[in-house]
Amino acid sequence: MTSRTLAALSALLLAIPLAPRPAAADTLFMSTQLRPIEEAQKMRDVILKDYSGKVTYVPEEPAALPVRLQAEQQGGTHTISVIGALHGELEPLLPMKGIVPLDDLAAKLADRGIPAGLLTLGKLGTTHQMYIPWMQATYFMVANKQALPYLPAGADLNALTYEQLADWAAAIQAKTGKRVLGFPAGPKGLMHRFIEGFLYPSYTGGLVTTFDGPAAEAMWTRFAALWKGVNPNSTNYNFMQEPLLSGDVWIAFDHVARLLDALRQKPDDFVTFPAPAGPKGRGYMPVLAGLAIANNAPDPQGAAALISYLTEPATQLATARAVGFFPVVKADLPADLDPGVKLAATAIARTENAKDAVAALLPIGLGTHGGEFDKVMLDTFQLIVLRGGAPHDALAREAPILQKILTDSGAPCWAPDPPSTGACQVK
């Protein structure tokens, strides 16, 4: 073999990986929701089953979505057509011009009966419809019926307070020796959402503005006391349906999608109820996911058709059945609905309609600082509750870090904190 053939061979070897891949003909639907493999599979096999076009469903980590979209916008190779994500995840895509206005599509879908409040959220503060509401959910509590006899006297499950929850867990521990209250504080759990949307609003009426202060200190002291009745495996729990089904946990808080398996498999064993209330009301975090079309999408017609399909009442009900996200359009829950899904739907309705409800939005406007924001909440929790540190010291340590994140991102306050001009301020 001569050196010339060798050189030609080397050049060929180097060139092969650089050859462009053929473009996909399907509509690429990238979603930060329904990411776990079972949920993604249900999306492909159940929810998208009756869709006439061809869809490639690609789940993506929330943090990676803006990175990938930006890479596509800058690199000029566009693959993503439809983006499905939470309100707070779609919002940072607006300033980077990653999504396009959908006013025409919204007009076509006017007969779907999407509530005006949700459509307004979908404008992301502009005059155009930037995303179409897709599905909604929230977090609530589930209890094994074995725990009910220990409920403190006079406590109403649907109007429970954090004090009563602590007494309840303590009573079970005293009688059975087991710590059966559980929180999803594992590496993939949603504990930060509990702190942001439930604990802080219930005790302080805010989150950022009231992060530090006497009310927050009192709250953490109470929560650390409540934690004495919590199963220590909670720092390993990611989906509370698992310990609920195994019986390790009798009372649990989590996102509906992470509780639904337990409710579906053993609907007769469990009851559902709203998260507890504190001195300032019953804080809760509604979750709204929306559908947007990527800027320079390779298949805008397919994208619009897919969004139209996903917001049909029948598809919305199929979504509720399959993955436990509830309809945003007018669709009556049928009488033959799975009893587990019905349990979840009841708890969500009771949470939203509670007289003392305090709605807390997912953090908005933090852009790429969302992860750091959650870390402040989890670090504070770790310092005070898991390590037994003094709330005053932990809050004094974390408050400046929180303020720096808000100042750097310039995020104005979101509900339940009062609106602010300029970056939200820790008081």
Partner 1 sequence: MRRSAAIPYLLLAPATVFLGVLFVVPLVQTAALAFRADGAFSFGNFSTMAGDINFNDAIVNTFEVILLAVPLQLALAVGMAMMLRHVRVGRDLVLWIWSIPLGISDLAAGLVWLAILTDRGYINSLLFHLGIIPGPQSWLTYETPTTLLIAIVAAELWRATAVVLVIVAAGVQLVPKEYAEAAEVFGATPWQRFVRVTLPLLRPSIQTALILRTVLAFEMFATVLALGGRNFPVLMSQAFNAQYSQQDYGVAAAYAVLVMAFSIGATLVYLRVLRTPPAQLP
Q: Could you list the residues that contact partner 1 (CB under 8 A)?
A: 2-3, 6-7, 10, 13-14, 61, 63, 178, 185-187, 232-233, 235-236, 246, 248, 368-372, 374-375, 379, 382-383, 386
Give yes or no for a contact between 418 and 204, defined as CB atoms under 8 angstroms apart: no
Closest to partner 1 by CB, 172 vs 329, is 172
Q: From residue 217, how far is each of 58, 259, 385, 395, 398 by CA, in Å? A: 43, 30, 12, 8, 13
Residue 262 Cβ vs partner 1, minimum distance, rounded to whole Å: 16
Closest to partner 1 by CB, 175 vs 330, is 175
Closest to partner 1 by CB, 10 vs 120, is 10
Neighbours of 389 (CB within 10 A): 17
Residue 59 Cβ vs partner 1, minimum distance, rounded to whole Å: 15
Residue 96 Cβ vs partner 1, minimum distance, rounded to whole Å: 14
Residue 276 Cβ vs partner 1, minimum distance, rounded to whole Å: 24
Closest to partner 1 by CB, 202 vs 234, is 234
Closest to partner 1 by CB, 100 vs 378, is 378
The region that residue 141 occupies, defined by phi over 0 for left and psi between -120 and 50 for alpha, beta otherwise, is beta
Closest to partner 1 by CB, 7 vs 349, is 7
Closest to partner 1 by CB, 16 vs 23, is 16
Residue 185 Cβ vs partner 1, minimum distance, rounded to whole Å: 7
Placement of tokens 């006013």 in the chain: 103
Lookup: tokens for 51: 């869709």
Distance from C-alpha of 19 to C-alpha of 385, rounded to nearest angstrom = 54
Residue 168 Cβ vs partner 1, minimum distance, rounded to whole Å: 21
HSE-CB for 197 with a 13 A CA cutoff: 25
Closest to partner 1 by CB, 123 vs 178, is 178
Closest to partner 1 by CB, 217 vs 379, is 379
Residue 232 Cβ vs partner 1, minimum distance, rounded to whole Å: 4
Residue 382 Cβ vs partner 1, minimum distance, rounded to whole Å: 6
Residue 2 Cβ vs partner 1, minimum distance, rounded to whole Å: 8
Distance from C-alpha of 76 to C-alpha of 60, rounded to nearest angstrom = 20
